[in-house]
Structure 1
Amino acid sequence: MGDQERDIIGGIDGLVAEERALRDRNGREPGLSAEEKARLRTVEVRLDQCWDLLRQRRALSEYGEDPAQARVRPADEVEGYRS
């Protein structure tokens, strides 16, 4: 695993921790503020993009291509992907 892949995984770990914290707060009174709800949505989208980027890199590497060719795709392309 290269440094870039480790960085992507580290980013995913940080986003997952933030998502959990926001979801925990959302389940308690008084819930999330409008800003926190917007942040949660942003975190969810960014996670989808990070997972997609990681999958792209691994697929390129598996087929002998340069994983550095992988690019972050727009949210509307990756939204709803499940790992």
Structure 2
Amino acid sequence: MNDSRSQESSILGRIDALVTEERDLREQSEHRLTPEERRRMRLLESELDQCWDLLRQRRAREEFGDDPDMVHPRSVDEVENYRQ
């Protein structure tokens, strides 16, 4: 169970780093992003979606008594194309 908490902390740390990079990029560029910066923003958004999805999967498995370490990150295509 401790390893599970460590994995969750790692995911949350990655989310925090991605959010910080996204915020810094926006602030640095004063909302006038270059094509390269826009590309990076899209990558950041996709990776954030994957991280949040992985965290939700882990928490759901744990809630229902399953091993949260059995989940794996889903592809960007799968995560980005969920039906709402």
Given the two structures, how large is their TM-score scaled by the length of structure 2? 0.83
User: Which digits, 9 at most, give the CA deviation of each residue in 1:7-62, with x for residues without a partner?
Assistant: 000000000011112222252xxx22221111111000000000000000000000
Count of residue pairs the alignment pairs up: 78
Are 1:10 and 2:13 counterparts?
yes
Q: Rate the CA distance shift 1:8–1:40 in 2: closer, same or farther, 3 A.
A: same
Match of residue 40 from structure 1: 41
Q: What is the DSSP-based 3-state SS (H/G/I as helix, E as strand, rest coil) of the residue aligned with 1:65? A: coil
Q: CA RMSD in A?
A: 1.7
Q: Which residue of 1 aligns with 2:79?
A: 78
Deviations along 1:49-83, whole A, 9 cap, x unmatched?
000000000000001100011110011221277xx
Structure number with the higher helix fraction is 2
Q: Could you tell me the TM-score, scaled by structure 1's length?
A: 0.84
Q: What's the secondary structure of 1:64's corresponding residue? A: coil
Q: Structure 2: which 5+ runs fail to align?
A: none
Percent identity between the two aligned chains: 54
Ranges in structure 1 where 5+ consecutive residues have no aligned partner: none
Distance in structure 2 (CA, Å) of the matches to 1:49 and 1:22: 20
Q: Which runs of 4+ in 1 moved over 6 A?
A: none
